[in-house]
Each structure stands twice: as C-alpha cells, then as structure tokens.
Structure 1
C-alpha cells in the first residue's frame, strides 16, 4: 500500500467508513451510450450556480441527472474524480486518477473545468498529489493532499502554500473568515484559525464530512448518516435529521437550509435544513474500486 492509500485508509478505518468515488452523468447533450448508467462510489457533489444543475463526482466520471432523472456522463472522461468542488458558474476543481488504460500519471494533481465538467485541464502537482478534499472560498482553493498528508492553499491553482500535516477525511472553510478551517479526523473535528497552517487536536463529535456555506449553516454528517448542524462555527451541534441510505459518501451545503448528501443508496437533497429529504439520484453498489 503506497503512502496515498495508507493515509486515506487510516482515516477511513478510524471513522468506520469505506471511501468511495462517484459516477454521475452529463447534461442532455451527453453521449447517448451513457443512458442507463449506474452511479456508485461518490466523492463529491455540487450545484452549478448558473443553472442549479446537480453534478456528482464519482470513481467513474462526473455525472448529472438527465431530464428524466437518470444519470448521464458529463463529457467523455471516466476518470476517478476524488476531491471535487464547484467554485463558480461552470467552474469546477477536482483531483483524482486516470481511468484504467488511460494515459497520464497516477495522480492528477489539481485539474480545472470551465465548461461544467465537459473538459478538464491540468493546473499543477500532476503526478505528485491526490486531493481527497477540495473547497473554494474567499478566492482561494483549499485542498487536503492525501498523498502527502497535508493541507495546501492556492490562489491560482498553480502555486501552493503548504499548511499543516494532518490525517483528515474532509475539510470545510468558514464562509466569513478565510483563516477558519475545519477538518474531520478520527478524534473528531480539528480546528485551524490560521488558514490551515496549524490545527488543534480534533474534538468530539466525530463527523465523516463537513460543509460550510453560511455563517449559521455549518453541516456535518456522521458515520451513520445523521445530519448535524452548528450555528456557532462548530462549538455546539444539533442533529437535524438522518439522511436515508446509511453510510455517507459526500456532503455539500448550498446555503443555510439547502443541503446535498450522498449515501449508499442515493443522492438526497434537503431544502429545510435536514428535516426532510428528496431523492435526486439513485446510487448502486459495486463498480470499479
């Protein structure tokens, strides 16, 4: 087991999770052969601000629901998309690995799409880093580099500042303070107040994934799918509901009340802070590991 997989596995085992990737589908002009595709192993979720379309990053490509709610592949890439975040209109950042038989180094470093995932270009750290978690806030890319076990930040995606060494599964950045970064660890939520240069020791509760898009809307999902909300930056938490489908795979808060979560059997959406959920996309077990 190489360093990248060892770091990820250690954190995943501590949290009692199996890390997965995503496979979602493209817009209505996608290859018709993608129709009927199944989605599994999800790594990231997001809504494009320009049209509120759902995108799901998986182990076998990025997908979006078609007009009938079925997953369609975006573009023609079936690469393994690990870290994934929607930054702005049609602008996505991701990381991961090439599909079996595809060209390129094992680690993609940071890649960027400006056409909602149809095409991607390499920005930096190709062959060097695998970001398992990405967040975009305050004009800055925050990434957890699982290959090297550290937090990195970049303004342009090309040059990076190294932050703290930490074993984490996910990160979230304060929407009003670029220096406030949270990370999920086996000990609980670790907090940074200096932009990720240092982290305090993790404290309970233990969360699998975090997302923070509004001052009073920090969300965390635990290992059994319980959705929790903090209105004070993570000092106190209140469980708001349970996402159907059990073990979580990804979490994204769109605003203070709007949340997306992927579990073992579906991608779910809540527009009331986690009180109720609507199935947006069915998830199937199996797929490439």
Structure 2
C-alpha cells in the first residue's frame, strides 16, 4: 500500500469517528486550586483525550482541553483548572478568556451537549452562551471579533458575532479549519481530499494542490501556518497555496495542534504534549514525562 493511500485511509478513519481521539493517557500533577469540582482531590490524575491546545496571550501559558477538564501546563506539569467535563472544542479568545464546547461531566445537569460556553477567569468557571443541546463544536476559532465553529451534530460550519445568534457558512465535510489573521473571509480547512481554501467566508472551498493531506491546521497571528498529517508529520507554510515545508514527526497519531507564531508550535500526539521553538523542525515534551 502506498504512503499516500495510507494517509487517505487514516483521514477517512478519523472522519468516521468524528475526530474523537481515544487512548491518550498523560500522568499529571494536581495542585491547590485545581478546580476539581467533579471529584475528590488526588495527588495524581489522568489527562485523557486531548481535543485542543491554546496559548493565553497574557502570559504565554499553555492550556489543553481534554475529556476530563481544562488543564494548565506550566513548569513541566499540568494542573486541572476547571470542573470535570468533556471539552471537545477549545480556543483562546484573549487573556484569561476562553471559549469551549463539549459535554457535561458525570452527575451534571443539562443536555448532553453544552453548546458554546465561555470563561473569563482562566477556565475556572464557565457560562453557557448559546446552542445548549444543539451544538457540539469539535473545532472552534475566535478571530476578527467572531466565533467560528464546526458543529459535529449537524456538520455545519457556523459563525457568530455576538456568541448568541449563528449563521451557517457551509456544510462542507471538513475535519478542522483555521481563519486567516488578515480577514474574516479567508479560511483553510482539512478534508479527506486534502487541504482546502475559502475566499468567501467559508461558503465554498477549493483544494490547495501544494499542501499535503493533513488532519489539523492552525494559522498564527503573524501569518504563519502549520498542519499535521494523520501519521504525525508537521508541515509549515507562509501562505496556504505556497510551499509547505516538511518538519519533524510527532512520533504518533496527532490529537491537537496550534501555532502561536512562525517559530512556536504546540501539539499533542501519542500520549505527549510537545512544543517546538524552531518552527516545527524539532519538538520536545512540554510535560515532565
């Protein structure tokens, strides 16, 4: 079997399971003020199923949205800052300001999907904003004072300027997407066929011939792009339809990816949270594993 066909089959498999990554276990340390409202405090816990990584622009702290809560990663350890619930989508909207989606934790009231939720205190407390019971966003972006979300329940790519009322952009079959820092109408999205690009706000997409088949894609404020293939190889570019440069392998199936700048990239794969300070050429574990 050719490598290209293997990649296509891997992407198809990820679509079939709704991009829910399973089997990722990371040992982490819990400290005081961990926000462990969903269960008793413990000396050690598990951060399982990483669905999103974000960087707080206020202090550069890295956060990971997981199956069992939101974790702050610092000083070689991870601390849960939220109550225990499933963060399927997670993005940073500003200093201490986060948006997320997913499912309530065990014993919590409400619908099986939380819709769009918001925290303005670094993830410790959350407020439901809209689409409770109607949306489970597996990918979220906040840019140009707008929220963009991929609703796994309906397949819709949606956007909102007030976090309350939503407009459908398209129902294109995408796995992940990113919004250009230059304007709200330019997006890129990963699909089974390859990376696609939209110039009309996500209404239509065209294949980017120069890019490899990727699962996750991210677009930094400085214009740099990063993507990762189903087998964990990171690629970077300065333009969506420009040259994509092959970087390091993450060493396993990727779970999440975000690019903070042309030099700083964060990823999760194969049971490790990784960071690159050289634009994806090399990655090192962010946690003391």
Q: What TM-score, normalized to structure 2?
A: 0.86
**CA displacement, residues 25-66 of structure 1 (integer Å, 9 cap, x when unaligned):** 877532582541122210000111112111110011111135
Unaligned runs of 5+ in 2: 1-9
Aligned to 1:39: 47
Is 1:29 aligned to 2:33, yes or no?
A: yes
- Is this contact kept in 2: 1:25–1:55, CA < 8 A? no
Aligned to 2:170: 164
Shift of 1:225: 1.0
Distance in 2 of aligned mates of 1:151 and 1:20: 21
Is 1:232 aligned to 2:239, yes or no?
A: yes
Distance in 2 of aligned mates of 1:280 and 1:88: 22
Is 1:48 aligned to 2:51, yes or no?
A: no
Aligned to 1:20: 21
Shift of 1:263: 0.3
Distance in 1 of aligned mates of 2:34 and 2:226: 33
Aligned to 1:264: 270
Shift of 1:13: 1.1
Q: Equivalent of 1:138, from 139, 144, 157?
A: 144
Give the secondary structure class of the aligned counterpart of 2:46. coil
The change in CA–CA distance for 1:26 and 1:136 in structure 2 (over 3 A counts) is farther
The change in CA–CA distance for 1:195 and 1:39 in structure 2 (over 3 A counts) is same
Give the secondary structure class of the aligned counterpart of 1:37. strand
Count of residues paired in the alignment:
271
The one of the two structures with greater contact order (alpha-carbon pairs below 8 A, sep at least 6) is 1
Output the aligned Cα RMSD.
2.5
Is 1:220 aligned to 2:227, yes or no?
A: yes
Pairing 1:58-97 to 2, within 5 Å after superposition: 58-65=66-73, 67=75, 69-75=76-82, 77-97=83-103
Aligned to 1:286: none
- Is this contact kept in 1: 2:51–2:87, CA < 8 A? yes
Is 1:190 aligned to 2:191, yes or no?
A: no
Give the secondary structure class of the aligned counterpart of 1:117. coil
Distance in 1 of aligned mates of 2:276 and 2:101: 27
The change in CA–CA distance for 1:16 and 1:274 in structure 2 (over 3 A counts) is farther
